[in-house]
Structure 1
Amino acid sequence: MKIRLLVSVCTLIFIVALPFPSEGVKRKKSVPRLDEKIAAAKLIEDFAVLREALEKAHPSLYLYTSKEKFDQVFDATVKSFDKPLSRKEFYLRVAPVVEMVKCGHTYFDFPPKLLNQLSREEGLFPLPVFFLNRKAYVDLENEDIPLGSELVSINQQPMAEVLAKLLPYLRSDGYNQTMKYRMLADEFALHYRLVFGVLKEYQIQYIPFGKKEPVTIKLPAISGSKLQKRLVNRHSAKGKFKNFEFKWIEQNVGLLTVNSFDFGLRKKGRQRYREFLKETFEAIREQVEAKHLIVDVRFNEGGYIGHDATLFSYLAQEPFRENESAITKLIDIPLEKYQDKKEFFKGVEKAIEKSLAKEFKKAPDGLFHLIDEKNKLSQPKRFGFKGHIYILTSGWTHSGGAVVCSMALNNDNVTFIGQETGGGHEYYTAGNMVLYTLPNTLCQVEVPMILYRNEIPENSFPKGSGIVPKHQVVQTQKDFISGNDTVMQFALELIRKSKP
């Protein structure tokens, strides 16, 4: 899953006003093949572009992996290109190198047309899966394997070994694993196909819920289009999300759900969000006995900058900043020749560079730092909530969703419940995202340009971790099958126990 560009709202508004490329000048191009052999010299050229993009533009390249280690891996990877390789082989060698950045906003992928084709082809694993405590379960009501059965092995390979092969191709912030498992649940069949190849059938060993002995079955592979229908209808599917909503779920207990900040490109959308929050917290204030508020950000992967701080202004106890600091390596976007023209159509690059030049100034350390005027102290809202807040989190809680959680670490009236967030508790790299297309393989790498540091209490968690809830609660296998929300029920029980 590719995460949406995060740029400043003023830049976005400017970009929207720019003319898009004319449809009439587009040329129909063939779909790049997965098995196409590419000369070693061309692979080396592509990898050199990727390395230069990361080294020049990525501000947190060495945050979790040292320069020495990266140089060793970069050099070893170049030496491995000693003969022609297929596009698939190139991807399998390079993707784990990019994962070493340990940044949830940095990704390496196939050309879009090839990705689209792969999502429709035959030979894919036939069942949606869901992960609980790093174990895989069947996520579909079907006639072949009972819903919620634990997958023990695929083609006689234990699931632990399968996962060890697949996880290096998934991204997350820092050393976090919860986000990787969430992503893998959505993309399991495609990753399995890339690593283990196209198969006609799958031998699956599983243990039904409540049983001890494993059962073995052979199932035919299915097409991507058929799998997509199964994913839409999988047991864990939540249907269409609202970006935000509020309701009373028990007497004097409010539930504020914010599933996304990926809205409000235009003024009308931002205004609707601000009005919703204002009306919601005024209604809560009028409910004099309302002492408990649940804030559910379990599916919030972020979105446009600023929405997180707007939400937190209704939860804050003290004046706050959205970030302690923000830096970028440069304000001139490098490697213009390789920038993806669909993302960086005429005028976009200059608009972003102009915005960066206004918002960042060069410091003695050689880096560009966000100016104080763009990181002002925000005040808590008058009608903000003063009771106890319970924030529900998961591996999907990333980017802006995790930033809200980091800001809430400064409150003494907040309890976190659920899984470790997918977003880092201290740092995240996002801001202006630059998408590059490599010249020969046409694979793409996206590089975020701004490193943000959250304003958090000292020594909150170990380096590289997300926000780890005080109450780490994961849905049980039984609750998964029955559809019971284990995390929400835990929060409600905690509230009941706290009442006199």
Structure 2
Amino acid sequence: MFKKLLFSFIILLLLVSCASVEKHNQKITQLHSVAELHQDIDKLYTQLKRNHPHLYQFTSKETLDFKFDSLKQAINKPMDSRTFYKQLAAVTKYVGQGHMSLSPPSLRYTKKERKALNNTKFDVNNLDFEYLDNKLFVTNARENDTLLINAEVLLVENEKPQHLINKYKKVIASDGYNTTFHQRVAGNRFLGYYVKDKGRFDSISFKFRNADSTFVKQYKRVLKKDTTNVKKDSISTDSTLKKQKKIKLTKTEKKAKKLERKAKKKHNSKYGYIASRDEYTRNLNFVGKDSAVALLKIRGFSNNKYKDFYDETFKTLDSLKTEALIIDLRNNFGGRLREITYLYSYLTDENFVMINPSEVNTRTPVLKSMMSNTTPNSLKVLGGILAPVLATLEVFKTNKKDGKLYYNFKSSKEQEANPLNFKGKVYVLINGNSFSASSVLSTKLRGANRATFVGEETGGAFNGTVAGMYKIYETPNTKVRARIGLAHIDAPNKVSPDGYGIKPDVEIIPTYQDRLNNIDPELEWVLEDLEAKH
């Protein structure tokens, strides 16, 4: 009897799930009435006013009110969710906070469809793009596409990439009035914006120019190669294949293999290995004359453990008596506050405070984040159970001053300089994609006059950004999702005018020709400067 009830319950769940998927897909592809669209605009603006602590920092309330009202007046006929998303995002970008973003709804799939999708691969994901000199080109490629590196994209499905990127810039928000972020991120995340614009696709064609040749390459989503279903009979009868005996390892060999796997896992964790890209998040190399200059490349502050890496790095620099360190934060979109705080402890010889207490609109921002209308019900139940404990902990982390609420992250407490702190010359390489935590770190270094900055203005603002914790809100009718920052993160140092990034001491903008010639102009300038001062 119990088995029958359980089986019936599972069947019911599957039917409800399928119905839910069908209902969602129908909802996001249909035309929404003007009244529904206006309601979604009002609902989202209400959420912004309720949760965003610096909503009017860069655009006044009067101007932002006018833009939202104008959008409502302009929408006078039904439209689908994706079209609505583009118009709404073109208004919310004026909030001027790069972490505040909108996403159009995606089609949902049944369990069977998801399983089939997981058995496919789409090799277009092996391509990375960059946009320089009004050209979109392949800046990196993996597997079979390495020959495409530096190939210029002339057409994407018969559309010019310049036209597409100009369209994407209309919905990209940066911190304040910064413009370097728009072009950089549109190239770097080109495929992501393409999906937001067009929706999910299973094939795409590119027209490339590589050296003197022009050609079209088509990418399709295909089944992954499956070698597990090869029949045993075909193996035994194939004269070119021989059945291999499984090698039996001794106890000592098994132990050695286990230690090898453990060491590799530890190494990958320390350096932040990214399997899908076959690269590490954190690297230390030595460059320049006699390889005497340390080059610390950090692609992000979010991946795996980090303390062992920085401990090892600065121990190495100390033992080698290294006199110059280059920190490469180009295309570093940020990450953990605690990681940049730990790194900065190696770059100063004084006690320091990394960030100020963060302005918030609620004493319980973590709970606010957990109770978003996009949070699965199971997590909401868990949040409800833990609410008394979480609320108590959060209240102790908040305080009120001059009528405003402030949340205290660990990085807002005084920190000690690491005894092995680096005392030599520091250079920092930055560009428009240096964002969020990498900009906070740059602000701190600039405020302490600790580094020479080379490159272009960062995409992240000097005077801080609204991030740290987020509420993901979904509009009721069109299902457009908004990521709303809940905490203002800023370093103690400030500049005027507000709304711009960390500006370089030496501005150097790379060119497409630099990429073709395998030249890194920012790095080369630093090495030449060090040589001249030696």
Cα distance change, pair 395–486 in 1 and its aligned pair in 2 (3 A): same
> Hey, what does 1:282 align to over in structure 2?
315
Secondary structure of 1:307's counterpart equals helix
How far off is 1:489 after superposition? 2.6
Structure 1 residues 80 and 32: CA distance shift in structure 2, 3 A = farther
- The one-letter code matched in structure 2 to 1:463 is D
The structure having more radius of gyration, on CA atoms, is 2
Match of 1:313 among 323, 339, 345: 345
Aligned residue type for 2:330 = R
Number of the residue aligned with 1:130: 130
Equivalent residues in 2 for 1:416-495, closer than 5 Å: 416-456=453-493, 458-459=495-496, 462-495=497-530
Residues 317 and 487 of structure 1: CA distance in aligned 2, closer, same or farther (over 3 Å): same
Kindly tell me: are residues 277 and 322 of structure 1, through their superposed partners in 2, closer, same or farther at Cα, counting changes over 3 Å? Answer: same
CA contact (8 A) 1:394 1:421 kept: yes
Percent identical? 22
Cα displacement string for residues 84-112 of structure 1 (whole angstroms, at most 9, x for unaligned residues): 21112211211111211121211111224
**What is the SS of the residue equivalent to 1:79?**
helix
Structure 1 SS opposite 2:335 = coil
> Could you say which residue in structure 1 is the equivalent of 2:265?
none
Query: Distance in 2 between the 1:140 and 1:261 partners?
Result: 21
Matched residue type, 2:25: P
Taking a change above 3 Å as real, the CA distance of residues 130 and 244 of structure 1, as seen in their structure-2 partners, is closer
| 1:314 to partner: Cα distance | 0.6
Partner Cα separation in structure 2 for residue 420 and residue 389 of structure 1? 18
Once the two structures are TM-superposed, the CA of residue 58 in structure 1 deviates from its matched residue by: 0.6
2:182 aligns with: 180
Give the direction of change, closer, same or farther, for the CA distance of 1:383–1:415 in structure 2 (3 Å limit): same
* Partner SS for 2:278: coil
Closer, same or farther in 2 for the Cα pair 1:387/1:203, shift >3 Å?
closer
- Pairwise mapping of residues 300-379 of structure 1 onto structure 2 (< 5 A)? 300-332=332-364, 339-342=373-376, 345-348=380-383, 350=387, 353-365=391-403, 367-370=404-407, 375-379=412-416
Do the aligned partners of 2:205 and 2:219 also contact (CA within 8 Å) in 1? Answer: no
- Cα distance change, pair 477–263 in 1 and its aligned pair in 2 (3 A): closer
CA 346–257 in structure 1, closer or farther in 2 if over 3 Å, else same: farther
Residue type of the partner of 2:416? Q
Partner SS state of residue 306, structure 1: helix
Query: 2:301–2:334: 8 Å Cα contact kept in structure 1?
Result: yes
Q: 1:207 Cα deviation (Å)?
A: 8.1
Structure 1 match to 2:37: 43
For residue 189 of structure 1, report the CA deviation from its aligned partner. Answer: 4.9
Secondary structure in 2 matching 1:176? coil
Instruction: Identify which range, 381-390 or 95-104, moves more after superposition.
Output: 95-104
| TM superposition shift of 1:154 | 7.8
What do you get for the CA RMSD once the two structures are aligned?
Answer: 4.1
Instruction: Give the conservation status (yes or no) of the 8 Å contact 1:263–1:304.
Output: no
Which amino acid in 1 is paired with 2:354? E
Structure with the largest fraction of helix: 2
Distance in 1 separating the partners of 2:467 and 2:406: 15
CA distance in 2, matches of 1:275, 1:188: 34
**In 1: Cα distance, 2:484 partner to 2:13 partner:** 28
Give the 5 Å matches for 1:217-228.
223=220
Give the corresponding residue for 1:76.
70
**In structure 1, what residue type is equivalent to 2:281?**
N
Cα distance in 2 for partners of 1:361, 1:110 equals 36
Counterpart AA for 1:390:
Y
- Taking the aligned partners of 1:222 and 1:80, their CA distance within structure 2 comes to 38
Q: How far apart are residue 147 of structure 1 and its match?
A: 6.2
Task: Specify the alignment match of 1:12 in structure 2.
Answer: none
Q: Give distance in 1, aligned partners of 2:149 and 2:513.
A: 10
Q: How far 1:384 moved relative to its partner?
A: 0.5
The aligned residue for residue 9 of structure 1 is none
Residues 325/46 of structure 1: CA separation in 2 closer, same or farther (3 Å cut): same
Deviation at 1:373, TM superposition (A): 8.4
Check conservation: 1:151, 1:207, Cα contact below 8 A. yes
Contact 1:46–1:438, Cα closer than 8 Å, also in 2: yes
CA drift of 1:397 comes to 1.7
Distance 1:76 1:336, change over 3 A: farther
Distance 1:417 1:148 in 2: 23
The equivalent position to 2:292 in structure 1, one of 239, 252, 259, is: 252
SS in structure 2 at match of 1:85: coil
* Matched position secondary structure for 1:104: coil
Report the CA distance between 1:479 and its aligned residue.
Answer: 2.8
Q: Alpha-carbon deviations, 1:294-348, whole Å to 9, x = none?
A: 1122232222221111100111243321113420122256698752124954344
Q: Relative contact order (alpha carbons < 8 A, sep ≥ 6): 1 or 2 greater?
A: 1
Deviation at 1:134, TM superposition (A): 4.8
SS in 2 for 1:294: strand
Q: Which residue of 2 aligns with 1:261?
A: 301
Whole-Å separation in 2 of the counterparts to 1:263 and 1:335: 22
Q: Which moved more, 1:443-452 or 1:26-35?
A: 26-35
User: What is the distance in 1 between the residues matched to 2:531 and 2:408?
Assistant: 46
8 Å contact from structure 1 (residues 299, 396) kept in 2: yes
Q: TM-score, normalised by structure 1?
A: 0.76
Distance of aligned partners of 1:337 and 1:46 in 2 relative to their CA distance in 1, 3 Å threshold: farther
Q: Which amino acid aligns with 1:428?
A: T
Q: Would you say the 8 A contact 1:32–1:111 is kept in 2?
A: no
Q: 1:79 Cα shift?
A: 2.8
Deviations, residues 41-88 of structure 1 (Å, cap 9, x unaligned): 222222222111111101121111111111011112223343321112
3-state secondary structure, aligned to 1:395: coil
From 25, 38, 46, the equivalent of 1:32 is 25
Letter in 1 for 2:500: S
Query: Is residue 291 of structure 2 the alignment partner of residue 291 of structure 1?
Result: no
Q: C-alpha separation between the residues in 2 aligned to 1:302 and 1:375?
A: 18
Letter in 2 for 1:182: R
Residues in 2 aligned to 1:193 and 1:243: alpha-carbon distance in whole angstroms: 25
Q: Which runs of 5+ in 2 are unaligned?
A: 1-9, 224-274
* CA distance, structure 2, for counterparts of residue 481 and residue 374 of structure 1: 42
Secondary structure of the corresponding residue to residue 72 of structure 2: helix
Structure 2: which amino acid aligns with 1:282? K
The AA in structure 2 aligned to 1:322 is M
3-state SS of 1:100 partner: helix
Counterpart Cα distance in 2 of 1:121 and 1:286:
46
Aligned residue type for 1:412: N
Please list every run of 5 or more consecutive structure 1 residues that lacks an aligned counterpart in the other structure.
Answer: 1-21, 227-236
CA distance in 2, matches of 1:151, 1:282: 44
